Amino acid sequence: MASTADFRNGMCIEYNEQLFFIVSFQHVKPGKGAAFVRTKLKNVSTGKVIENTFNAGVKVNEARVERRPCQFLYNDDMGYHFMNSETFEQIPLEKDLIDSPELLSEGLAVEMVYHVDTETPLLVNLPMYVFAEVTYTEPGVRGDTSSTNSLKQATIDTGATIMVPLFVNTGDKIKIDTRDSSYVERVKD
């Protein structure tokens, strides 16, 4: 059992007979009345984020989760296939359990979150940044510089389409933030 004082981002709790990850929380002590905690909770099974308020000191069940290193192998009509880096066991998963599945490339090291009591995978976290090669983008116009705030679409080697600055060309390697699938910088070889 954990109380609201133990809340932290990424903590997994049981609430309304379902598993939720705490996305964010804020302790509030109003001038009048009792203290409470505002939270944003992400449902593990549906991915939906809800807002909830807990009274200060309320006890909740903390779900035991474990993070295991895995490697992405491939995807097909059966789902996305991962390999546990320690046991070499292959694990097929559905697309909705993966954060930003469009950014997965073969051999990418990821972290799989397991519910310890049932030994079931809950979700897959990609690293904060991934590197990809631009396979197609419209050519930039002469005079486009890095100070321009204009963006254009680019297709990367995983098949995903992201927005990049005008100076990025086909064949460039780029760094992508997996939290929002946004361009970070061009990578030099």
- Residue from 127, 131, 128, 140 nearest 170 by CA: 140
Give residue-wise pLDDT tens across range 80-118.
999 999 999 999 998 888 888 999 999 999 999 888 888
Give pLDDT, residue 128.
Answer: 92
The conformational region for residue 10 under phi > 0 = left, psi -120 to 50 = alpha, else beta, is left
- Give the single-character DSSP code of 98: B
Domain assignment of residue 104, given as a range:
65-125
Dist CA 92 CA 79 (whole Å)? 6
| Tally of structural domains, the chain | 3
Q: Is the pLDDT of residue 1 over 70?
A: yes
Q: Are residues 8 and 57 in the same domain?
A: yes
Single out the residue in 125, 141, 164 at which a domain terminates.
125
48-90 confidence digits (pLDDT tens): 889 999 999 999 999 998 989 999 999 998 899 999 999 999 9
Beta bridge partners of 74: 81
